[in-house]
Amino acid sequence: MSVDFRSLPVAIVLGALTAAGALAAVFALTKYNAICSYVGRQGAVRLAVHGSPYAEPTTELLEFRKATTLWASVTRKNFRGHYAATSYDFCWYAADRQRVLHLVGRFSSREGTPPGSDPYYFALAAELAWSKYLFASLPVRLEQEGSIRFAVRDREALRVGRGFLEIESAGEVQRIEGTELNRVSMENGQFSYATTDARWYSIKGKFNFDYTKLPNARYFVMVVESLVPRVLSGNSTAG
């Protein structure tokens, strides 16, 4: 991939130059295999050289301003009831649904903490920076739109506003004020809520879905925590 750095934001250019300098230093130690990554407020970049220190680096570049959606998933795999490995897939798309950056891999760590050099951490850092980038525009979007819409399933969506949630389903909209919410939870990849009149023996007043299949999932968590904070419970680490 050939990149014209003259057209990039200054922060990304400086980050790329820093990464390139570090990459050159790594050459002396690894000689034929070096990878260096950088994550900033406006994007992320990863440079890699394989086979020879004189080979042209391959560049993976993500400019946040050119992306609209991140689909991220982390999946634990078991074999015969025992942990086997963890796979991850982070893919950013532009408005025209073209891929901007795709990070995929696997590691073996029951606790979800591979060695510090594992590229999994680059994916997590890029996801967090991307989510903060989106979150920075939250006040403007709320002023313009009143709430933030997240597509959940076919013909279903969840809107999060200041102190309320709205469920869109089959052309109908159900609004739930914060005072009506008894619990909003994010545990084991599941987003769920229950209203104050919900009963354990009934599905009325309850809603849940797998938020790992939600676009911009970590941003979704940040929005819920910010706008409906008093009812949020459980582990809210997305992705």
* Residues composing the chain: 239
| CATH code for the part of the protein at 138-233 | 2.30.29
Antiparallel, parallel or unpaired: β 181-187 and 232-233 = parallel
Q: Where are the domains of the chain?
A: 5-135, 138-233
Antiparallel, parallel or unpaired: β 147-153 and 156-161 = antiparallel
The reported pLDDT for the residue numbered 145 is: 94
Q: Give, to the nearest 10 degrees, the angle between helix 217-227 and helix 120-135.
A: 40
Q: Judge contact between 161 and 227, C-beta under 8 A.
A: yes
Residues of the chain with pLDDT under 70: 1-32, 182-183, 186, 188-189, 198-207, 229-239
Q: Judge contact between 10 and 28, C-beta under 8 A.
A: no
pTM of the shown model: 0.76
- The sign one gets for the Cα dihedral 128, 237, 118, 28 is positive
β-bridge partners, 186 = 191
Beta-carbon contacts of 174 under 8 Å, excluding residues fewer than 6 positions away, are 166, 167
